[in-house]
Amino acid sequence: MDQREIWKILDTVMDPEIPVVSLVELGVIREVEVDETSRSVRISLTPTFSACPAFQQMQVDIEDRLRQAGVERIELVVKLAPPWSSDWISPEARQKLKAFGLAPAPLHGGILSPGLLDVIACPFCDSTDTVMKNSFGPTLCRAIFYCNQCQQPFEQFKPL
């Protein structure tokens, strides 16, 4: 099995908390190394938060999927540096998040400022007449907003 095949398999491992996007699309999986001689695979991954409660499940799901595909030796390497960035979310995943009702984080190029949250478009009606209701959503990586236009609450993937 070559590196391209491993990436394809990994692209089927969905985020346990957001089941419409894969860990590859979220940018959690950073590197794939394949040693075809020893039939081993080394995967480098970075959690969205260092204390992400779903991270252990992500690792279990990665190993399960690779074993189902016939990979015998799997090494998962957790890399905390550089820290995960919401800029790593693929354009396709951003569209999937929006369709799921989750506002994607704005691109920031590594410059995080409070102003990033001033103009958040509602994933339901695209209005920017929104307000943050709580910076602590159901998971560490999400905040709760409200759209004054369509009167819908929604979650936003935090810019990190």
Q: Which CATH number covers residue 64? A: 3.30.300.130
Number of domains into which the chain is organized: 2
- In whole angstroms, give the CA distance from residue 150 to residue 130: 10
Q: What single DSSP character describes residue 160? A: -
Name the token pair of 53: 């409660």
Segments forming the whole domain that contains residue 141: 102-157
Does residue 51 surpass a pLDDT of 90? no
Q: Is the pTM of this model over 0.75?
A: yes
Q: How many CA atoms lie within 13 A of 52 on its CB side?
A: 22
Position 149 confidence tier, pLDDT thresholds 50, 70, 90: very high
